[in-house]
Amino acid sequence: AKLWGGRFEDSVTDAVERFSESVSFDKALYKQDIMGSRAHARMLAHQGLMTVSDRDSILHGLDEIERRIEAGEFVWRMDREDVHMNIEAALTDMIGEPAKKLHTARSRNDQVVTDLRLWCREAIDKIVASIKQLQVALIKLGLNNEGLIVPGYTHLQRAQPVLLQHLLLSYVEQLERDVGRLVDCKDRMNFCPLGACALAGTGLPIDRFLTSDALGFTAPMRNSIDAVSDRDFVLEFLSANSITAVHLSRLGEEWVLWASEEFGFLTPSDSVSTGSSIMPQKKNPDPMELVRGKSARVVGDLMTLLVLCKGLPQAYNRDLQEDKEPLFDSVKTVLGMLEVTTEFAQNIAFNHARIQKVLPAGHLDATTLADYLVNKGMPFRTSHEIVGRCVALCVTKNCQLSELPLDQLQGINSIFKEDVYDFLGVENSVDKFSSYGSTGSECVAEQLNFWISKLQIDQTENEKTE
Amino acid sequence: AKLWGGRFEDSVTDAVERFSESVSFDKALYKQDIMGSRAHARMLAHQGLMTVSDRDSILHGLDEIERRIEAGEFVWRMDREDVHMNIEAALTDMIGEPAKKLHTARSRNDQVVTDLRLWCREAIDKIVASIKQLQVALIKLGLNNEGLIVPGYTHLQRAQPVLLQHLLLSYVEQLERDVGRLVDCKDRMNFCPLGACALAGTGLPIDRFLTSDALGFTAPMRNSIDAVSDRDFVLEFLSANSITAVHLSRLGEEWVLWASEEFGFLTPSDSVSTGSSIMPQKKNPDPMELVRGKSARVVGDLMTLLVLCKGLPQAYNRDLQEDKEPLFDSVKTVLGMLEVTTEFAQNIAFNHARIQKVLPAGHLDATTLADYLVNKGMPFRTSHEIVGRCVALCVTKNCQLSELPLDQLQGINSIFKEDVYDFLGVENSVDKFSSYGSTGSECVAEQLNFWISKLQIDQTENEKTE
Amino acid sequence: AKLWGGRFEDSVTDAVERFSESVSFDKALYKQDIMGSRAHARMLAHQGLMTVSDRDSILHGLDEIERRIEAGEFVWRMDREDVHMNIEAALTDMIGEPAKKLHTARSRNDQVVTDLRLWCREAIDKIVASIKQLQVALIKLGLNNEGLIVPGYTHLQRAQPVLLQHLLLSYVEQLERDVGRLVDCKDRMNFCPLGACALAGTGLPIDRFLTSDALGFTAPMRNSIDAVSDRDFVLEFLSANSITAVHLSRLGEEWVLWASEEFGFLTPSDSVSTGSSIMPQKKNPDPMELVRGKSARVVGDLMTLLVLCKGLPQAYNRDLQEDKEPLFDSVKTVLGMLEVTTEFAQNIAFNHARIQKVLPAGHLDATTLADYLVNKGMPFRTSHEIVGRCVALCVTKNCQLSELPLDQLQGINSIFKEDVYDFLGVENSVDKFSSYGSTGSECVAEQLNFWISKLQIDQTENEKTE
Amino acid sequence: AKLWGGRFEDSVTDAVERFSESVSFDKALYKQDIMGSRAHARMLAHQGLMTVSDRDSILHGLDEIERRIEAGEFVWRMDREDVHMNIEAALTDMIGEPAKKLHTARSRNDQVVTDLRLWCREAIDKIVASIKQLQVALIKLGLNNEGLIVPGYTHLQRAQPVLLQHLLLSYVEQLERDVGRLVDCKDRMNFCPLGACALAGTGLPIDRFLTSDALGFTAPMRNSIDAVSDRDFVLEFLSANSITAVHLSRLGEEWVLWASEEFGFLTPSDSVSTGSSIMPQKKNPDPMELVRGKSARVVGDLMTLLVLCKGLPQAYNRDLQEDKEPLFDSVKTVLGMLEVTTEFAQNIAFNHARIQKVLPAGHLDATTLADYLVNKGMPFRTSHEIVGRCVALCVTKNCQLSELPLDQLQGINSIFKEDVYDFLGVENSVDKFSSYGSTGSECVAEQLNFWISKLQIDQTENEKTE
């Protein structure tokens, strides 16, 4: 019989039971549920709503239940619907009468959302830690490839030469904003709904500040209806995850491209590649394809939750039970994506020789040449046009800008002098970039130092282990 | 060691293995995978690419593997990556050498998409059958509530009186188009990719028509690259599911509303309701809330697949592995929604007395009154305005249109005669509707007969069992 | 001819021009584009990259262009592609040579993202202001309906009595978190990309801190590739908007329900209702239906941007041009939703008499009765069961809990005493709630005072104007 | 004053009017609205609900209104809310009394959905025609590049050699299924809602079959509530568009890749490329980037409509007004994507020399070598492993499979004979593919002929014009 069965004559049908149960997935909240019950029992005893002896029975019972769950000895029962009822009913089976007092001044409505906030808080900490590991891996990858110049792309067309370190740091920046979003989300969600009960609060003399403190929340939530109704903290968390996932999908795309025969810029080690069941020559960068692909489910999870919450009136509606699986999936997926991207970053080699060989193609120094003309006092639009003509000449003659003899340059415009060759060629070009945040080696070193210090990266160790 | 491991020196890391494996979910395809392998082995033997004795070993081996899987004796190994490799490797463990010939002229790329099409085909049949059951349940619900007039709503404001049967049939119509979409989807997907191999076909003398026929496909797919690259059949399927789910979410919303104290139009039986852990008086229509809520994940699953496929170049990309979980989830969810909605429909009672009592409110007969005036030759816009004034009078006097005495009606316009009272009151009003497809009782009877015959509903049986 | 046309021989086809142009929508950025150009020109002159006289020509030219745009005299040309080229080319038409220097050390890549950040910053301020207006309207609505008790719902079933003020404050809380998200988003995006140029920075001696300061940014962005590549600030903004939109959709649903004949809890005034072209009696709460409906496009806009960014490699890709329309639509829609919800809140009357009449239905005092038993020392689970039996008795006898005579209550359990009637009936019940954040009148007054002071609401004025 | 204003005292506020109006976008339905009114007026006259003279006044008035709209002389008034009211009110202004009869037995609820179905029908025809043009362009592109072998990819790694024609035909196949989906959608939606009125039908003696026939619908819709409530036809249409858009995004990605310096497989002509405002050497394949990017808004539009419809009870809700803008945007975007992709296909050149030069890289003939061994009787798994070892040897020696001397091959396995060299090298390899639907030249010729005949492509003309 259900714990709410007082006025019910029939039990629900099997199909309804199967369709409605949540214990198959919300048992993932067992630790948070027990944590919440401990705090609640202590508060009830402190407020005189339960004897100290009842409290102690409950606490010991909960310890034992937690032990059993972690040992795999606990039997989860679908007919007990959810994690809350499973634990409470098991507690009653174990300690009897005192267990019936645990649900005083509490409802599953405030209980589940307390559990969920505790779970999210911890999940955010894990994701933030994983992001930091990836940031460190990207920076170390840069340190191990110092001085490597690669083409910078716009429109997937070669645009300007950049230091690989500079490119890698652009991902580190994006990940840092991801951390910021998660931390803000955590701060905003870290308020305690416990004590909101079904939706209206309670008339019993509880102390919500006590439970809030005990559970590490900033404060109790101010409005009991709000406390049980809203899932905006999950929406915000899944939004943050989606943005992180999109960031990783972009890195995934880039590395899949770079691992292709046509680019040939990087080679993953065997330990992060897979082969083909039919084509013996294949070596596929599958982990990064999956990182790119799995971003889709993180976005899908967010979409599920937005559709779910749309148009529900206050306060708790059973629809909200469906908040958990997308949340769990989003967290698991993002953690996996981060972990695997980190491993991939630790297991790729950049093909310096190949990159150096193909680097001259694409007139990557054209903008530097335009800067040269601007430095000579020519308006930018004019210089842009002149460089355009130089490039057209190169295309006709199938050569590099640096290979155009001075007289031919001067044939286009007499402003060109011998010093122009200091601006041509990718090495010269990359060296000229000097504005704050640009790809010039000094600017990049400055960025690197910022991150090494911020992330407390130990470079000595780095050199040893890699 | 992986089956594709020929040129590989290191095995993949644990994290990559965990992140990349698909066997934990694609083992759901075991039946289709074995079905495909049987057809493939028979074709290979027929074409002389395998001896009859090898074929028979393989067929017996596959039988035994299928038996073990269904008996729960089969050990799925994550290091064997996916359902295909698990079955093939187990076959090799069992029968040795002949098993190594099974993958002739086949790749996992065409194999997985063959499995998936077979699976979808069957899933569509199941969903179509479930939709028909719901249609039957809705019609029986109508038959059991013959003559019941309920308010028809627009903007959730009472608009016109309708027969409950008419309202229920509107859902039956929507579900029928859902069936149409699924059947079209199945017809369009029922082409055989097997033999497309990795992407280019094969040089071995296979016969793709043979396997296509054996597996019940309409024909082999015409282009091997298309065969392994595209997942549009999954996208179409998930789109059809999403539309069905949205339809069900609307029914869910309606029944949740109708079960509220404020409407009070229907009461679910205990077997499809749940109670509250804190509020002893509650009886919640949870199954329909969950139907409404679970529509969200069906939409989320579609979204996942759209995001997944966006921007992938031809042909197979590992991202596509992520097509399965959203597909499986969508199908499972829609089936559950249909089943539970059917059970709900079988377990609700409409509160005739209550409905009859509140029906007069809302001036549901106002449009019929406007029709009365049009029948007298008045332009519709004028009649609309006059009825507007009658309604305003009712609001002032807090009465029904039928309660306005003739002189007051004539005070508004002299066109009103004694016969106006044949058009007022909800019973009179509903009876007047006579256009094709309208809510008049004859029109509804016509619709009902159409559906009873189309769905072959046995009414005698109905009367007995309910 | 395009400004980038140097090496091009043919111009693009009409279809491509039509498909690629963005000026038809990005002209909305004209103010930000001019603002950015002013700061850029001043910086160039300060750094000696342009003469003071050129700078002044440019500044005067930009003033004139802004004036023309705002006066509707500016001719936007599709063949000039976008807002940037339109303004720069018009400037060149107007002041000649100096205009050609404006694009020095700048690219459309950093220019557009600077414009966009400036635009978003302002849009966030507008939305935050609109949210605050809605919060104030909700609180005033509460103040004007002091003491009104309404049913609190879970599962759309009546659960517990709550003060209307308490319910309205739950929306105020949600909106406050929406403000928090927007402010965090603004802080995170308020960094200056200008000077990142195409993607690598520049070799010209610019000062990015100067432009950053002039434009009110916190600092220049640290990495030039990141600066032009990422749109996570738009994703975050659209996520925040989606959450706000979902919140408003819930309020929309609630008020549409409450305006129905069946609930009958509120009546919108004519100025926020619409009628029917066919049913003269209708009075529809359309604005709140549209608020609910328009939440969909805000979610759709977010989805567009997530799909857009998925799988793009660094750095700028033309796909990113598509970021603007969803952003503009999201902001316009959310602002409209907020404004109309505020007006609706200012134009509804709660039907006190009706609410009071129907309030006794639904046994809203059942939980309070359970609290009564707990206060007497009974374990909660036991009390829940006993109250369940009392409710069942009421259902049988079709009466309220408060109408059960003491002997019948004692027939269920002897613990009931005469004082039980102090806990029964909705007024008694609502008064008992006393926990922090609960619906008891003191708790609600405390919440109200918090918000009145935080939002600086002048109550005197309120009483006068309403 | 609004046409529904009978019982209203105040007019709506400006903000509500602005928020609620739809004429700014639904005026796009003017042609369908007038078409529907013509059919409706003729039917009313035929049924004696209107005189022939009234009908003729109406028909002439509608002609004049249509003329004015198309000449840009019609003044759309926001205070008249929508396209229906604008046209009807203008008709009343023009012809007076008879116009007031036009809305007899009709409501905006059935009127708008009739307009929408007519509009969608036409839009589908346009999209289907555009798809066919793209299919023709792809086939002509193939015909112009006969015999060109390109690498076929899986995981973006080179897998097997394929004919370019084969690859292009894979897109033609996908587009053909897109056509199928659209045609099915059109067939399913082509039923007439007119006469369903507000939701319940009408008591006036109309003939719905007459209007249905006149408007080219298959039949009237069977259930009036369904007729005005559902938007599943829009959902299905937007789903079909989303799948098409995803297909095009994939082609977009592929061609963007192929246009990169690294691939270098294709060069777009100037007429479908754009340059950079800062980098004079750039030539970007923007149209295909935008095709890829714009797929996002098509998906977003679908998402909007799914969220919109979720959880709405029957029948018409004002939310549904929001169905139009996503629909219009989806159609416009998909048409643009198709048109531009067609133009791009007509304006690219494949770089045969470059492709031929890089083709040997990647061991594309490895599978053919495995087939060689299978032909010799070796089990596939064994042959796969042996070829794996051959490839490993090539990697070590940095050579092609065809460059391995026979003794070295025999060192791996003695089964290799001199005839092995007939299977090595991409030309040999591609020639070996012979299974139905594979990339062998005969198979591809067969596919080509199928499509040339199906799409009625005139090859003579082709040769002349290109």
SS3 track for D141-182: HHHCCCCCEEEEEECCEEEEEEEHHHHHHHHHHHHHHHHHHH
Model pLDDT, residue A237: 98
Model pLDDT, residue A181: 98
DSSP label at D464?
A: H
Helices (H), D106-145: 108-143
At residue A2 the predicted structure's pLDDT band, cuts being 50, 70 and 90, is low
Paired with C220 in beta bridges are C192
Pick from A158, A243, A247, A289 the residue to mutate for testing the C interface (most C CBs within 10 Å): A243
Which has more pLDDT, B460 or A161?
A161
pLDDT in tens, B147-156: 999 999 999 9
Q: Please state, rounded to an integer, the average pLDDT across all residues of chain B.
A: 93
Burial C137-158 (b: 16+ CB within 10 A, else e): bbbbbbbebeebbbbbbbbbbb
**Residues C310, A318: C-beta atoms closer than 8 Å:** no
Averaged pLDDT for residues A177-189: 98
Model pLDDT, residue C381: 87
Structure tokens that stand for C345 in this block: 């809140």
Structure tokens that stand for D339 in this block: 């048109």
Q: Which residues of D touch C282 (CB under 8 A)?
A: 4
Name the CA dihedral angle for D350, D353, D358, D364, rounded to a multiple of 10 degrees: 70
Backbone angles phi, psi at B56, to 5 degrees: -65, -40
Residue D71, preceding peptide bond in cis (omega within 30° of 0) = no
Cα→Cα distances A19→A13, A146, B129, B329, Å: 10, 57, 19, 13
Element at A159 (helix H, strand E): strand A157-163
> Pick from C203, C257, C387: which is nearest to A432 by CB?
C203
Q: How far apart are CA C35 and CA C30, in angstroms?
A: 8
In this model, does residue B465 exceed pLDDT 50? no
CB distance C392 to C404 below 8 Å: no
Q: C262, C434, C245, C431: which is closest to C340 by C-alpha?
A: C245
pLDDT in tens, B34-50: 999 999 999 999 999 99
CB pairs under 8 A between A and C: 421
Phi-psi sector, C105: left (phi>0), alpha (psi -120 to 50), beta: left
In this model, does residue B101 exceed pLDDT 90? yes
Pick from D253, D265, D279 the residue to mutate for testing the A interface (most A CBs within 10 Å): D279
Structure tokens that stand for C51 in this block: 């003469």
Model pLDDT, residue B11: 82
DSSP label at B381?
A: H
Q: How far apart are CA D371 and CA D385, in angstroms?
A: 12
DSSP label at A13?
A: P
Pick from B10, B183, B236, B265 the residue to mutate for testing the D interface (most D CBs within 10 Å): B236
Structure tokens that stand for A304 in this block: 């599920």
Cα→Cα distances C196→A170, B258, D48, Å: 12, 60, 74
In this model, does residue B464 exceed pLDDT 50? no
Q: C262, C152, B280: which is closest to A315 by C-alpha?
A: C152
**Residues A260, D156: C-beta atoms closer than 8 Å:** yes
**Residues D7, B391: C-beta atoms closer than 8 Å:** yes
At residue D10 the predicted structure's pLDDT band, cuts being 50, 70 and 90, is confident
> Pick from B156, B283, B361: which is nearest to C257 by CB?
B156
Q: Subunits with at least 3 CB pairs below 8 A relative to chain A?
A: B, C, D
**Residues D223, B169: C-beta atoms closer than 8 Å:** yes
Chain D CA closest to residue B241: D236
Model pLDDT, residue B466: 40
At residue B238 the predicted structure's pLDDT band, cuts being 50, 70 and 90, is very high
> Pick from A103, A281, A322: which is nearest to B297 by CB?
A322
Q: Which residues of B touch D440 (CB under 8 A)?
A: 201, 203
Model pLDDT, residue C98: 94
CB distance C238 to A240 below 8 Å: no
Model pLDDT, residue A10: 74
Model pLDDT, residue C466: 39
**Residues D300, C295: C-beta atoms closer than 8 Å:** no
For residue C385, give how far its alpha carbon lies from the nearest alpha carbon of chain A (Å).
5
Backbone angles phi, psi at B424, to 5 degrees: -105, 160
In this model, does residue C84 exceed pLDDT 70? yes
Structure tokens that stand for B74 in this block: 């089969």
Averaged pLDDT for residues A62-74: 98
Q: How far apart are CA A125 and CA A102, in angstroms?
A: 30
Model pLDDT, residue A284: 87
Return the percentage of chain D with pLDDT > 70, whole number. 95
Q: D114, B235, D438, A243: which is closest to C188 by C-alpha?
A: A243
Which has more pLDDT, B10 or C212?
C212
Q: A238, A226, A227, A247: which is closest to A306 by C-alpha?
A: A238
For residue A8, give how far its alpha carbon lies from the nearest alpha carbon of chain B (Å).
6
At residue C2 the predicted structure's pLDDT band, cuts being 50, 70 and 90, is low
Chain B CA closest to residue A332: B19
Q: Report the greatest alpha carbon distance in chain C.
A: 100
Q: How far apart are CA B245 and CA B181, in angstroms?
A: 13
Paired with B192 in beta bridges are B220
Instruction: Show which residues of C are catalytic.
Output: 155, 276
Q: How far apart are CA B199 and CA B213, in angstroms?
A: 21
Paired with A393 in beta bridges are none
> Pick from A292, A313, A437: which is nearest to C153 by CB?
A313
pLDDT in tens, C394-409: 988 989 999 999 999 9
| Residue of D53, D260, D269, D276 marked catalytic | D276
CB distance B227 to B198 below 8 Å: no
Structure tokens that stand for A336 in this block: 């996996």
Model pLDDT, residue A3: 53
The count of C-alpha atoms lying within 13 angstroms of the C-alpha of C86, restricted to the half-sphere facing its C-beta, is 26
For residue D457, give how far its alpha carbon lies from the nearest alpha carbon of chain C (Å).
23
Model pLDDT, residue A392: 87
**What is the sign, positive or negative, of the torsion defined by CA atoms of A29, A35, A39, A44?**
positive
Which residues are within 8 A (CB) of A25 and not within 5 positions of it... i.e. 6 or more apart?
Answer: A324, A325, A328
**What is the sign, positive or negative, of the torsion defined by CA atoms of D88, D89, D91, D97?**
positive
In this model, does residue C277 exceed pLDDT 80? no
Model pLDDT, residue C10: 75
Q: Which residues of C touch D322 (CB under 8 A)?
A: 290, 293-294, 296-297
Annotation marks residue B276 as catalytic: yes
Q: How far apart are CA D258 and CA D261, in angstroms?
A: 8
Give the three-class secondary structure for A219: strand
Q: B218, B240, B247, B288: which is closest to B128 by C-alpha?
A: B240
Predicted TM-score (pTM) of the model is 0.96
CB distance A175 to A456 below 8 Å: no
For residue D294, give how far its alpha carbon lies from the nearest alpha carbon of chain A (Å).
15
At residue B23 the predicted structure's pLDDT band, cuts being 50, 70 and 90, is very high
Q: How far apart are CA A169 and CA A142, in angstroms?
A: 8
Q: C160, C138, C167, C163: which is closest to C148 by C-alpha?
A: C163
For residue B321, give how far its alpha carbon lies from the nearest alpha carbon of chain A (Å).
8
Which has more pLDDT, B38 or C2?
B38
Averaged pLDDT for residues D271-288: 79
Return the percentage of chain C with pLDDT > 90, whole number. 86
Q: How far apart are CA C213 and CA C429, in angstroms?
A: 58
Averaged pLDDT for residues A317-338: 96
Chain C CA closest to residue B260: C157
At residue A343 the predicted structure's pLDDT band, cuts being 50, 70 and 90, is very high
Backbone angles phi, psi at A274, to 5 degrees: -135, 165
Q: How far apart are CA B44 and CA B38, in angstroms?
A: 10
Q: Which residues of B touch D95 (CB under 8 A)?
A: none
pLDDT in tens, D134-176: 999 999 999 999 999 999 999 999 999 999 999 999 999 999 9
> Pick from C160, C263, C311: which is nearest to B279 by CB?
C160
Model pLDDT, residue B361: 85
pLDDT in tens, D68-105: 999 999 999 999 999 999 999 999 999 999 999 999 99
Structure tokens that stand for C212 in this block: 């950053």
At residue C1 the predicted structure's pLDDT band, cuts being 50, 70 and 90, is very low
**What is the sign, positive or negative, of the torsion defined by CA atoms of B133, B137, B139, B143?**
positive
Q: C402, B317, C380, C42: which is closest to A108 by C-alpha?
A: C380
| Residue of B57, B155, B239, B247 marked catalytic | B155
Q: Which residue has the tokens 């989807």?
A: B185
pLDDT in tens, C208-235: 999 999 999 999 999 999 999 999 999 9
Which residues are within 8 A (CB) of B343 and not within 5 positions of it... i.e. 6 or more apart?
Answer: A13, A15, A16, B272, B287
Q: How far apart are CA C318 and CA D128, in angstroms?
A: 27
Structure tokens that stand for C316 in this block: 């700028």
For residue C251, give how far its alpha carbon lies from the nearest alpha carbon of chain A (Å).
7
In this model, does residue D6 exceed pLDDT 80? no
Q: Which residue has the tokens 């400004």?
A: C3
Q: How far apart are CA A359 and CA A356, in angstroms?
A: 5
At residue C4 the predicted structure's pLDDT band, cuts being 50, 70 and 90, is low
Pick from B223, B229, B238, B441 the residue to mutate for testing the D interface (most D CBs within 10 Å): B223
**Residues C363, B281: C-beta atoms closer than 8 Å:** yes
At residue B274 the predicted structure's pLDDT band, cuts being 50, 70 and 90, is confident
Structure tokens that stand for A407 in this block: 């007289």
Q: How far apart are CA A331 and CA A327, in angstroms?
A: 6
In this model, does residue B187 exceed pLDDT 60? yes
At residue D2 the predicted structure's pLDDT band, cuts being 50, 70 and 90, is low
Q: How far apart are CA C277 and CA B159, in angstroms?
A: 12
In this model, does residue B462 exceed pLDDT 60? no
